[in-house]
Structures are given as C-alpha cells and as structure tokens.
C-alpha cells in the first residue's frame, strides 16, 4: 500500500511536465518523460518518514553502451559490471553515512538481465525498432535511522559510473515539498 501511495504522485507529475516538454521538444518524435532518449535517465525519489524510495529508469545505452541482447563475452561482461554497480545503491547514490540508511529492498529489471519486457510496453509493439530500445529499471527502498541528515541527493557517482548518462530528470517528493529538476554531471546535487 505504501508503495502505491508513493507511486501515485509520480504517475501524475509526468503529465504536467510532458506538456512543457512537448513545447520545447516539438520536433522530437517523443514529447513526454516516458520517451526513450539516449543520454537521459529518470529518477523518482520520495522521502516519507524514515523511508527513502529511489526509482531509476535509464536506456541501457547509458549504462552498458548498447541495447541489444548481450551475446558476446565482452557484452555480457559490460552487463554484469553495470548490474554489479546498480547492486550497490548506497555507493551509487552517495547517501550520507549520518543518515544511517540501509537497503530494505532492491529490484533490478531489464531485458538485458533476462527479464521479459513489461506488459505495458505493448503499445510500442507496432514500432519495428521496439526490440532495440532496452531499458534498465532499478528500484530501491532504504530505511534511514536519521532521515534529517538527508539534506541533499548527490548523483555525481551515477554520472561517474555511467559516463554516457548526460542528464537525469528527477521528480522528488520530500517533507519540504515536491520538485522536478534536471541534473547534469556539472550540477549533480539537489536539495531534499
């Protein structure tokens, strides 16, 4: 139930941002935040009491350098390396030790990891390039003993670990309110 409550505001946010994106991006064939755009990742973050949820969605191109099924040993090694990095969210998101955050749950999903595509991706089935657009989804839930110590969310390690990621569109819900921010490697931190 809690996850549903946290997900609901995120379901509504893209609608308002999508309209603005269409105005800025009307020449691009996809005008919403759900568009698959190389170099661009999305992060939903919610802090509710002692629970911090982070949901990262990225084209596989940003994280492994390709989107096709890994068949060569080199490609398989890249997928394994990216997965290993994603399995260390405390380091990846550089959460302050003072916040006392521990990983409660984590889920990694991608066709590259052997997962089947989501059923809600069926609307793209007519697109002949659909099989070339692999996404990687990572969902983390942390329990933080001192959530007040979470003053900023520093995403620099994501840019350093996955240099093909050029920007991250962040939707953040925290006790101080709700914000939508686009961060880059040069300005990788945002305030809670």
pLDDT at 40 over 90: yes
The per-residue pLDDT for 114 is 84
Does residue 91 form part of some domain?
yes
Q: 49 is written with which tokens?
A: 């009491």
Does residue 174 form part of some domain?
no
- Domain tally, the chain: 1
Does residue 172 form part of some domain?
no
97-139 pLDDT, tens per residue? 999 999 999 999 999 998 765 444 444 443 333 445 799 999 9
Does residue 103 form part of some domain?
yes
Q: DSSP secondary structure string, the chain? A: -HHHHHHHHHHHHHHHHHHHHHHH-TTSS--STTS--TTEEEEEEEEETTEEEEEEEEEHHHHHS--S---SHHHHHHHHHHHHHHT-HHHHTT--GGG-EEEEEEEEE-GGGTPPPPGGGGGGTT-TTGGG--EEEEEEEEEES-GGG--EEE-HHHHHHSTT--EEEEEEEETTEEEEEEEETTB-EEE-
The DSSP bridge partners found for residue 170 are: 43, 181
Q: 191 is written with which tokens?
A: 């305030």
- Give percent of the chain with pLDDT exceeding 70: 73
Does residue 43 form part of some domain?
no
Q: Is residue 112 a contact partner of residue 151, using CB atoms and an 8 Å limit?
A: no
Does residue 124 form part of some domain?
no
Question: What pTM does this model have?
Answer: 0.76
User: How wide is the angle at C-alpha 183 spanned by C-alphas 99 and 175, nearest 5°?
Assistant: 40
Q: 86 is written with which tokens?
A: 């994603």
Does residue 6 form part of some domain?
no
pLDDT at 28 over 80: no
Does residue 26 form part of some domain?
no
Nearest partner of 172 among 181, 162, 184, 163, judged by Cα: 181
| Residue-number span of the structural domain to which 104 is assigned | 48-113+132-167+185-192
Cα-Cα-Cα-Cα dihedral of 23, 30, 157, 76, to 10°? -170
């Amino acid at each position: 139930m809690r996850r549903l409550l946290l997900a609901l505001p995120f379901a509504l946010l893209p609608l308002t941002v999508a309209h603005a994106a269409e105005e800025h991006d009307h020449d691009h064939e996809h005008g919403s935040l759900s568009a698959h755009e190389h170099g661009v990742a999305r992060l939903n973050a919610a802090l509710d009491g002692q629970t911090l949820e982070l949901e990262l969605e990225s084209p596989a191109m940003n994280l492994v350098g390709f989107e096709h099924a890994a068949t060569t040993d080199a490609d398989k090694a890249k997928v394994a390396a990216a997965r290993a990095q994603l399995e260390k969210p405390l380091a990846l998101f550089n959460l302050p030790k003072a916040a006392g955050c521990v990983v409660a749950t984590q889920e990694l999903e991608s066709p590259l990891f052997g997962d089947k595509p989501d059923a809600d991706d069926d609307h793209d089935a007519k697109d002949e390039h659909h099989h070339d657009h692999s996404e990687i989804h990572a969902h983390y839930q942390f329990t933080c003993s001192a959530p007040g110590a979470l003053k900023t969310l520093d995403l620099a390690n994501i840019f350093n670990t996955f240099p093909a990621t050029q920007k991250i569109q962040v939707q953040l819900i925290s006790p101080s309110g709700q914000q939508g921010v686009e961060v880059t490697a040069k300005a990788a931190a945002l305030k809670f």
